Amino acid sequence: MERINIPRMCGTCKLDPTDAVVAGSYGTWTLTYTAGEWGIDDGGTILILWRFATDWGTPQTQDRAAADYLTVATDGTARVRAHFDSKAHIRPWRKGVVLDVFDDGLLPGEQVVVTYGDTSGGSRGSRAQTFCEDTFEFRVLVNPIATGEFTVLEDCPEVTIIPGPATAVKAIAPTQCKPGEPRNLLIKFEDVWGNPTADFSGDVSIAAEPGIRMPSQLPFAPDETGIMSVPFSAPEAGVYRFDVTTEAGLATQSNPLECQEDYLLNRFWGDLHGQSEGTVGTNTVADYYRFARDKACTDFSSHQGNDFQITRDDWQEITDEAKASTTPGEFVAFLGYEWSGNAAGGGDHNVFYLRDDEPIFRSGHALIPDKSDLDTDRFPIEALHDELRDRDAILCAHVGGRRATLSRHDEEVKRLVEVYSAWGEFEWMLTESLALGHTVGVVANSDGHKGRPGASYPGAGQFGVYGGLTCIYASELTREALFQALYDRRCYGTSGQRIIVRFSADDLFMGMCAPDRHVSEVEFAAQVYGTAPIESVELFADAEVVAGYDGFAGRIPSNKLRVSWGGARIRGRDRAAHWAGNLQVDHTSILDVAPYAFDSPSEGIVGADAGLVMWRSMTTGDEDGVILHLADPDAAVLRFNTPTYNFMVAANDLQDMRPHTYDAGGVGLHVTLRRLPEEAPPTDVSLQWHGDQAGFVPAAYWLRVLQTDGAKAWTSPIFLRD
């Protein structure tokens, strides 16, 4: 007897069109479900699901003229009702359109037609996912007998998401070299959503400082990765940057390059945290590492899937790809995973192994069908500490959806905290750890789910900001050297920019401990080479600022006023603060307005006139804002109106250019007003502070750098305490 094909009995589906889709474009897609031999009983359900990571426009059934309007029709006698649910099914297939069949059943051969982006009522269509994916799937599940048990259909339709035309050019320089040493400037193009694209033709012009040996103009000629390498050499010690422009008006400046005769340590850049489609991310593990190396042009990375979803086969794939992707001197991949215990068990922590072929010790098997190796689980976090203490492994406290419980700590194993990722800004992870007496270093990564480690744009979904980068000071680009540097906390994090930061206290470098050295005996030194002018450098003792540099101090105030807002609602999963609103200006006029630190095309200024500016904004610990050019700032009265905070203030007391901040509650929710100077501060600063100044006490000392474009850097502390 022929075996029953249950998925075929449940029906078939097809999508039209299935052509490649430009990321973030609008269109109309029709999915047709045809009932199988079982039909669908009255009370049955059809699910059309997307992966958790997608930011495809949310389908809606209420407004015919608005984007993402969805309609459903059937040729049967049953009625079908549609709604979108962000938790429609089991992760990673969380998001979906739920189709309820009622008032009759569907007979074999009867169809349900679902139209994404129905334009008949004036809608512009449905907005596609903003990031690239080889196989974006519409996964269709059917509950034909109304039992609540779903079957995945065969041959669920897929489309490929491809990048759009180039709208930005990026230039990545090495952060250090020796005089006369041959190096390469890397040039790439990105579309409006940050996807690397080779869709550019024309000449690229490069302006370099005198003495740099390189071509000044050449046609864009990418290699197989889509990147163009331009050889150069620097003639002598100094700090260099490269200005790149195109005839199409695209322009950028590279990150700084420091040229010196000798280096005690080298700087390496990477993203230690992200996921692929094996858990809740995008594309394969191999794709993940290829992007980090070839598209983001980083030196190291680590794949960090949620442990409760990693099967034995998945772990073998992750292990194999970490091995295959590592070439000493070129690129290093750390084997690792995200221990994803609930808060009751210790919360999220990243595990980084030194060696290949290490085992995975999960927090649980929640989404793993094979439970035969439950004895390898380690829960709560203390059980993981015990397991890793005698292994070459590092734990990093993380906050994404779940957050690490910082009080549950092991000094031997947990060496790092992640203060920034695509989920937001979490400086409190460092300050609260220090308040608990922990000795931890600082990293910043992406926890990207979009397959773009090292260059992780937020898109239009629930991720708040551009992903961070970690800079490691190490002797060489090998797994052993990088691992030792991370263990020694010889690292710092940025909000995604390659800002050069060097921080020391006499012979002590970031991450070092000197409990016998009294703070009054040392001199702190900081060198910062920015990717934009440096607004401030603050020296912290634990959580208190004890010294610093204000790039605006002593400068002539301009007629420009920056209004910025930021912070988060809570520390947990639903932390996003919504600031969509406006600023009304009375008693003077707005001459011009510019955006400040918005994170994606889904945010920003949506309208402005002489007395009003309007915006869309969401913050998850970070800052957004607007810069107003006013006819007479001293006469201005400002009325700030958002769902999160409202106030009215006269602007005549802002001439000193100090920031004036309003506390809005939550976790650092605030609004800040600051007069801007006529002349921008310098992009490079060198600073010294002696520890015998007032306020310097035994503590952990660290730096926070803020640029005028909103970018930040945070160093690992130097520990001058018992």
pLDDT the model gives residue 43: 96
Question: What is the distance between the alpha carbons of residues 129 and 672, in angstroms, rounded to a whole number?
Answer: 34
CB 505 within 8 A of CB 701: yes
CB 51 within 8 A of CB 78: no
Domain CATH number, residue 104: 2.60.40
Q: Where are the alpha helices (DSSP H) in 448-512?
A: 479-487
Amino acid at 544: E
Q: Could you tell me which of 143, 42, 169 has the C-alpha nearest to residue 101?
A: 42
pLDDT the model gives residue 8: 86
> Is residue 427 a part of any domain in this protein?
yes
Question: What is the distance between the alpha carbons of residues 278 and 318, in angstroms, rounded to a whole number?
Answer: 9
Asked whether residue 565 falls in the same domain as residue 639, the answer is yes
> Is residue 1 a part of any domain in this protein?
no
What is the token pair recorded at 53? Answer: 């990571």
Asked whether residue 132 falls in the same domain as residue 236, the answer is no
> Is residue 365 a part of any domain in this protein?
yes
Helix or strand run (H / E) with residue 524: strand 523-529
CB 190 within 8 A of CB 168: yes
Out of 259, 276, 308, a domain closes at 259
Asked whether residue 543 falls in the same domain as residue 570, the answer is no
Helix or strand run (H / E) with residue 435: helix 428-435
Domain CATH number, residue 468: 3.20.20.140
Q: Is 438 helix (H, G, I), strand (E, B) or coil?
A: coil
9 phi, psi to nearest 5 deg: -65, -25
> Is residue 586 a part of any domain in this protein?
yes
SS (H, E, C) 570-613: CCCCCCCEECCEEEEEECCCEEEEEEECCCCCCCEEEEECCCEE
Q: Is 428 helix (H, G, I), strand (E, B) or coil?
A: helix
CB 82 within 8 A of CB 112: no
Asked whether residue 201 falls in the same domain as residue 173, the answer is yes
CB 563 within 8 A of CB 579: no
pLDDT the model gives residue 1: 44
Asked whether residue 135 falls in the same domain as residue 186, the answer is no
> Is residue 458 a part of any domain in this protein?
yes
pLDDT the model gives residue 264: 87
For the chain, how many structural domains are there in total? 5
Asked whether residue 56 falls in the same domain as residue 179, the answer is no
Strand 251-253 versus strand 424-425 pairing type:
unpaired
User: What is the b/e burial string over 495-508, where b = at least 16 CB atoms within 10 angstroms of the residue's CB?
Assistant: bbbbbbbbbbbeeb
Asked whether residue 378 falls in the same domain as residue 477, the answer is yes
pLDDT the model gives residue 401: 82
Asked whether residue 25 falls in the same domain as residue 150, the answer is yes
Asked whether residue 140 falls in the same domain as residue 178, the answer is no
Out of 119, 145, 162, a domain closes at 162
pLDDT digits (tens, 9 = 90+) for 406-434: 999 999 999 999 999 999 999 999 999 99
Domain CATH number, residue 191: 2.60.40.10
Amino acid at 476: E
pLDDT the model gives residue 461: 80
Q: Is the dihedral of CA 476, 479, 481, 487 positive or negative?
A: positive
Asked whether residue 485 falls in the same domain as residue 518, the answer is no
> Is residue 627 a part of any domain in this protein?
yes
Asked whether residue 316 falls in the same domain as residue 372, the answer is yes
Q: Could you tell me which of 308, 306, 303, 305 has the C-alpha nearest to residue 374?
A: 308
- Parent domain of 294: 266-497
pLDDT digits (tens, 9 = 90+) for 469-520: 999 999 999 999 999 999 999 999 999 999 999 999 999 999 999 999 999 9
pLDDT the model gives residue 2: 55
Asked whether residue 426 falls in the same domain as residue 281, the answer is yes
Q: Is 106 helix (H, G, I), strand (E, B) or coil?
A: strand
pLDDT the model gives residue 386: 97
Residue ranges for the chain with pLDDT beneath 70: 1-4
Residue 458: CB atoms within 10 A of its CB come to 29
Question: What is the distance between the alpha carbons of residues 219 and 206, in angstroms, rounded to a whole number?
Answer: 11
User: Following DSSP, what letter does each residue of 257-325 receive, concatenated?
Assistant: EEE-S--SSEEEEEE--B--TTTTSSS-HHHHHHIIIIIS--SEEE---BGGG--HHHHHHHHHHHHHH
Out of 259, 289, 316, a domain closes at 259
> Is residue 693 a part of any domain in this protein?
yes
